[in-house]
């Protein structure tokens, strides 16, 4: 039986507070950026762009105009960097929106990242139940602890999405579907049958309800099985049935969730294997977090029956799902790169041009690194090795989500700074607190599970 | 001169065989060979055999395959005749790499798999017209056979094997 230590409470609270302060500062600074500030900034950037002699001159002008606070002078200087006056204004407004979008996106990415760990863990748990796996029952309480974050985490994601509105999802702007408006977008209007805020919320609530109901009953049956008399496997059989049914529901809803919550940030773009791609990343992260928490609890002596064969199996799943993720990443990228259809390929052009390092860096972190580190069978049994590989995999998949959301909302105005780090710390603290609270509520060994004996003697 | 006599102890159950192997090892006898009709889990550990390095070989063969694929396509597609085929950028290997990845992957797997299998055949001395080295045909069906060279006290060894549950103990003169 695990008890939530005071130190862990303090650490998670500190993470939440520090994260909230960092994110709040980032939000405050970016929301005080006006169109005029942006024009100064653009003028400076244009002068840094290689005008040679003009460099020093433009710099002094820019400083001067800031000092005088003269909007007219600023306008002139900003326009000097561009050929057309109108274009300069439109561009400055666009950049201002991008800067304003950044803290919303940063918060959304971090919220989604931790939600998807819990969702992936729920899917993995259901697979273990439905497959009647003999090795994993010892880890069921850990998995159930992680999935406890799903309900609050998913509600937070949807709340952020709805509150942010067109800061993240441009189609939530009613002007885009209004033929009278200057912002009217025929493509978005054509998709408004699916992409409308009411539908988004209703679908999200259906997904979350379905997942949570399964989670609730599965946990309930799992605990009830502990108290069942010897030889009575009624609850185990019930759990098996609802797990199989849930997996069918999950595959449909996960796919639709990935269109709604991620793919629709680029409403002009679509990809058919996107749901699988998100699923693969989700499963890697979930198994990695499972391995990390298991190793942590084992190091405290709370899981005495977990041996290094269990760790080896989890590390094999980390390795396998990493390869699977790469396979889907590459399949999506290569098919679009190869055919090079303009309507599809812009998605990757923006990412390669503006996000070169994160885009290719994450492939190294999510593929090359686990491939070379986790290939050796002996390494997969070494706890600190699994933890180190896990840290890189989690960071890599955070950047994966970052690469999916940011190019659509902030474009080339991205940076991993205060709002991003703050949001990650905030949700990391929340995740830690909720997960360890759930783990502390029940005995760590599901003793009534008919496979528990096999799991205890598991040896590979 | 090396001993030319060997003892064949025959068992009819893999659990009995495992225990026998442990007892014979504990009595410090050297087991020459064990013949079984199917893989017995843990037998290699009980006999104290060194772990296989076949996986390391496979990894290196895979690296060779990847190198072959890369050098081959770089020469053909980029250096020798950099044609414009459907607008694909053939200026450098990296620019056109996504199109080469399927081949790079397949050749890596091809080399790793086939060369590893051939290595296995060579190391275990298996080929089509090889004479079978089976001391007793029953070991391919339902019997297990442990072979030990007779170097010291033959009676002592025989009684030890008798205690381990051997159903049959034969002394065989091995022609060297």
Question: What are B49's two structure tokens?
Answer: 């055999």
Contacts of B28 (CB under 8 A, 6+ apart): none
A209 interfacial to chain B (CB closer than 8 Å): no
A375 interfacial to chain B (CB closer than 8 Å): yes
Question: What are A28's two structure tokens?
Answer: 């405050």
Q: How large is the ipTM?
A: 0.89
Q: Which of residues 311-330 of A touch B (CB under 8 A)?
A: 330
Q: List the single best residue of B98, B102, B103, B106 to mutate versus A (max A Cβ within 10 A).
A: B98
Q: How far is A334 from chain B (nearest CA, A)?
A: 6
Phi first, then psi, for residue A216 (nearest 5°) are -65, -50
B51 interfacial to chain A (CB closer than 8 Å): no
Contacts of A270 (CB under 8 A, 6+ apart): A263, A344
> What CA–CA distance (Å, rounded) separates B25 from B168?
19
Q: What CATH number belongs to B3-51+133-175? A: 3.30.70.260
Q: How far is CA B127 from CA A43, A214, B110, in A?
A: 76, 56, 21
What pLDDT, on the 0 to 100 scale, is given for residue B35? 95
Does the pLDDT at position A57 exceed 60? no
Q: How far is CA A380 from CA A111, A263, A348, A388, A457, in A?
A: 30, 34, 34, 11, 19
Would you give the DSSP letter of residue A89? H
Q: Give pairs for B112-118: CB < 8 Å, separation 24+.
A: B112/B58, B112/B59, B112/B61, B112/B62, B112/B65, B113/B58, B115/B57, B115/B58, B115/B61, B115/B64, B116/B54, B116/B57, B116/B58, B116/B61
Q: List the single best residue of A309, A328, A337 to mutate versus B (max B Cβ within 10 A).
A: A337
Cα angle value A390/A394/A396 (rounded, 5°) = 115
Closest to A143 measured CA to CA, from A4, A316, A391, A314? A314
Closest-CA residue of chain B to A332: B98
A-chain CB neighbours of B98 within 8 Å are 330, 333-334, 337-338
- Put simply, the answer to whether A337 touches B98 (Cβ < 8 Å) is yes
Does the pLDDT at position A2 exceed 80? yes
Question: What are A89's two structure tokens?
Answer: 């204004």
- Put simply, the answer to whether B59 touches A330 (Cβ < 8 Å) is no
> What CA–CA distance (Å, rounded) separates A10 from A7?
5
- Put simply, the answer to whether A334 touches B55 (Cβ < 8 Å) is no
Torsion of CA A276, A277, A279, A284, to 10 degrees: 140
Confidence of residue A49 (pLDDT cuts 50, 70, 90): low
A-chain CB neighbours of B87 within 8 Å are 340
Would you give the DSSP letter of residue A355? S
Would you give the DSSP letter of residue B175? P
Q: Which of A338, A375, A377 sits opposite B98 (nearest CB)?
A: A338
B121 interfacial to chain A (CB closer than 8 Å): no
pLDDT digits (tens, 9 = 90+) for A64-94: 444 444 344 334 444 444 444 456 788 888 8
Question: What's the mean pLDDT in A13-37?
Answer: 91
B-chain CB neighbours of A330 within 8 Å are 98, 101
What pLDDT, on the 0 to 100 scale, is given for residue A4? 87
Burial of B159 (0-12, 13-18, 19+ CB in 10 A): exposed
Closest-CA residue of chain B to A337: B98
Question: What are A117's two structure tokens?
Answer: 């760990």
What pLDDT, on the 0 to 100 scale, is given for residue A147? 96
> What CA–CA distance (Å, rounded) separates A38 from A74?
10
DSSP reduced 3-state for A267: coil
- Put simply, the answer to whether A377 touches B55 (Cβ < 8 Å) is yes
When the pLDDT of each residue in chain A is averaged and rounded to a whole number, the result is: 89
DSSP reduced 3-state for A47: helix
- Put simply, the answer to whether B98 touches A375 (Cβ < 8 Å) is no
Closest-CA residue of chain B to A336: B98
DSSP A285-302: HHHHHHHHHHHHHHHTTS
Neighbours of A443 (CB within 10 A): 11
DSSP reduced 3-state for B170: strand
Does the pLDDT at position A59 exceed 90? no
pLDDT digits (tens, 9 = 90+) for A90-129: 888 888 889 989 999 999 999 999 999 999 999 999 999 9
Closest-CA residue of chain B to A330: B98
Would you give the DSSP letter of residue B30? P
Strand order, beta sheet including B31-35:
B31-35, B144-149, B5-11, B168-173
Contact of A41 with A66, CB cutoff 8 Å: no
Question: What are B172's two structure tokens?
Answer: 């065989």
Match 């199917």 to its residue by tokens: B38
Match 């040679």 to its residue by tokens: A52
H/E stretch holding B138 reads none
What pLDDT, on the 0 to 100 scale, is given for residue A89? 80
Q: How far is A335 from chain B (nearest CA, A)?
A: 9
Q: How far is B157 from chain A (nearest CA, A)?
A: 34
Report the relative pairing of strands B168-173 and B144-149 from DSSP bridges.
Answer: unpaired
Contact of A107 with A159, CB cutoff 8 Å: no
A-chain CB neighbours of B55 within 8 Å are 377
Question: What are A143's two structure tokens?
Answer: 């998995």
Q: What count of Cα atoms within 13 Å lies in the side-chain half-sphere of residue B83? A: 5
Q: Which residues of A392-405 are buried (b: 16+ CB within 10 A; e: fewer)?
A: bbbbbbbbbbbbbb
B-chain CB neighbours of A340 within 8 Å are 87
Beta pairing partners, B149: B6
Q: How far is B138 from chain A (nearest CA, A)?
A: 31
Would you give the DSSP letter of residue B147? E
Question: What are A348's two structure tokens?
Answer: 């990757």
Question: What are A412's two structure tokens?
Answer: 């080339």
> What CA–CA distance (Å, rounded) separates A52 from A55?
6
A-chain CB neighbours of B101 within 8 Å are 330, 334
Q: Give pairs for A162-169: CB < 8 Å, separation 24+.
A: A162/A197, A162/A200, A162/A201, A164/A104, A164/A107, A164/A108, A165/A197, A167/A100, A167/A101, A167/A104, A167/A105, A167/A409, A168/A101, A168/A104, A168/A105, A168/A108, A168/A265, A168/A405, A168/A409, A169/A195, A169/A200, A169/A264, A169/A265, A169/A267
Contact of B9 with B161, CB cutoff 8 Å: yes
What pLDDT, on the 0 to 100 scale, is given for residue B157? 87
What pLDDT, on the 0 to 100 scale, is given for residue A87? 65
What pLDDT, on the 0 to 100 scale, is given for residue B162? 87
Cα angle value A191/A104/A421 (rounded, 5°) = 135
Contacts of A324 (CB under 8 A, 6+ apart): A280, A283
Q: How far is B5 from chain A (nearest CA, A)?
A: 39
Phi first, then psi, for residue B144 (nearest 5°) are -120, 140
Q: Which of B55, B87, B101 sits opposite A334 (nearest CB)?
A: B101
A-chain CB neighbours of B59 within 8 Å are 375
Domain ranges of chain B: 3-51+133-175, 54-123
Question: What's the mean pLDDT in A291-298?
Answer: 95
- Which sign, positive or negative, has the C-alpha torsion B3, B6, B7, B13? positive
What pLDDT, on the 0 to 100 scale, is given for residue A86? 56
pLDDT in tens, chain B (176 residues): 455 788 999 999 999 999 999 999 998 889 999 999 999 998 999 999 999 999 999 999 999 999 999 999 999 999 999 999 999 999 999 999 999 999 999 999 999 999 999 999 999 999 999 998 888 999 999 999 999 988 878 888 888 888 888 899 998 887 65
A335 interfacial to chain B (CB closer than 8 Å): no
Question: What's the mean pLDDT in A390-409?
Answer: 95
Cα angle value A176/A178/A182 (rounded, 5°) = 70
- Put simply, the answer to whether A330 touches B98 (Cβ < 8 Å) is yes
Match 């033959």 to its residue by tokens: B154
A330 or A32, which is more confident: A330
Q: Which residues of B12-36 are buried (b: 16+ CB within 10 A; e: fewer)?
A: eebeebbebbeebeeeebebeebbb
B99 interfacial to chain A (CB closer than 8 Å): yes
Q: Which of B55, B59, B99 sits opposite A338 (nearest CB)?
A: B99
């Amino acid at each position: 039986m695990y008890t939530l230590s005071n130190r862990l409470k303090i650490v998670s609270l500190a993470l939440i507070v520090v994260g909230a302060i960092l994110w709040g500062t980032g939000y405050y600074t970016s929301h005080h950026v006006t169109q005029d500030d942006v024009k100064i900034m653009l003028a400076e950037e244009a002068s840094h762009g290689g005008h040679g002699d003009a460099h020093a001159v433009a710099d002094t002008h820019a400083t001067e105009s800031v000092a005088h606070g003269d909007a007219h002078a600023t306008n002139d200087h900003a326009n000097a960097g561009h050929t057309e006056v109108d274009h300069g204004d439109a561009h400055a407004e666009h950049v201002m929106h991008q800067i304003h979008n950044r803290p919303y996106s940063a918060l959304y990415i971090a919220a989604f990242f931790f939600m998807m760990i819990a969702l992936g863990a729920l899917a993995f748990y259901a697979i273990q139940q439905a497959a009647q796996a003999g090795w994993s029952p010892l880890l069921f309480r850990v998995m159930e602890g992680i999935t406890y974050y799903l309900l609050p985490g998913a509600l937070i994601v949807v709340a952020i999405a709805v509150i942010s509105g067109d800061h993240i999802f441009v189609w939530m702007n009613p002007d885009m579907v209004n033929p009278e408006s200057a912002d009217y977008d025929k493509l978005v209007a054509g998709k408004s049958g699916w992409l409308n805020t009411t539908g988004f919320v209703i679908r999200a609530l259906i997904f979350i309800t379905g997942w949570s109901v399964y989670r609730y009953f599965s946990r309930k049956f799992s605990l009830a099985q502990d108290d069942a008399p010897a030889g009575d496997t009624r609850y185990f059989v019930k759990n098996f049935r609802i797990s199989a049914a849930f997996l069918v529901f999950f595959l449909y809803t996960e796919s639709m969730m990935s269109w709604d919550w991620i793919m629709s940030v680029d409403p002009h773009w679509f990809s058919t294997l996107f749901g699988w791609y998100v699923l693969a990343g989700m499963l890697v992260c979930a198994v990695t977090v499972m391995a990390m928490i298991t190793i942590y609890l084992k190091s405290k002596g709370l899981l005495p029956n977990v041996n290094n064969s269990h760790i080896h199996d989890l590390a094999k799943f980390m390795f396998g799902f990493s390869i699977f993720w790469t396979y889907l990443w590459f399949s999506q990228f290569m098919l679009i790169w190869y055919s090079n259809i303009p309507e599809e390929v812009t998605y990757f052009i923006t990412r390669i041009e503006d996000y070169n390092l994160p885009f290719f860096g994450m492939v190294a972190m999510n593929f090359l690194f686990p491939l070379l580190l986790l290939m050796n069978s002996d390494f997969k049994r070494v706890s600190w090795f699994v933890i180190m590989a896990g840290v890189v995999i989690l960071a890599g998949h955070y950047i994966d989500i970052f690469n999916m959301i940011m190019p659509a909302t902030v474009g080339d105005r991205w940076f991993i700074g205060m709002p991003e780090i703050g949001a990650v710390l905030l949700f990391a603290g929340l995740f830690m607190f909720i997960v360890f609270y759930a783990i502390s509520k029940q005995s760590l060994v599901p003793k009534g599970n008919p496979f528990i004996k096999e799991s205890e003697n598991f040896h590979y | 001169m090396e001993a030319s006599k060997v003892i064949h102890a025959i068992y009819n159950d893999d659990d009995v065989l495992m225990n026998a192997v442990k007892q014979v090892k504990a009595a410090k006898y050297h087991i020459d060979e064990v013949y079984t009709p199917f893989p017995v889990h843990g037998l290699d550990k009980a006999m104290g055999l060194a772990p296989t390095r076949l996986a390391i070989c496979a990894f290196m063969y895979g690296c060779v395959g990847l190198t072959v694929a890369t050098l081959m396509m770089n020469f053909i597609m980029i250096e020798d005749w950099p044609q414009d085929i459907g607008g694909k950028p053939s200026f450098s290997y990296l620019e056109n790499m996504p199109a080469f990845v399927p081949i790079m992957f397949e050749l890596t797997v091809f080399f790793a798999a086939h060369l590893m299998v051939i290595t296995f055949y060579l190391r275990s001395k298996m080929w089509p017209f090889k004479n079978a080295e089976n001391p007793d045909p029953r070991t391919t069906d339902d019997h297990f056979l442990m072979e030990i060279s007779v170097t010291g006290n033959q009676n002592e060894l025989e009684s030890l094997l008798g205690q381990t549950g051997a159903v049959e103990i034969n002394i065989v003169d091995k022609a060297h």
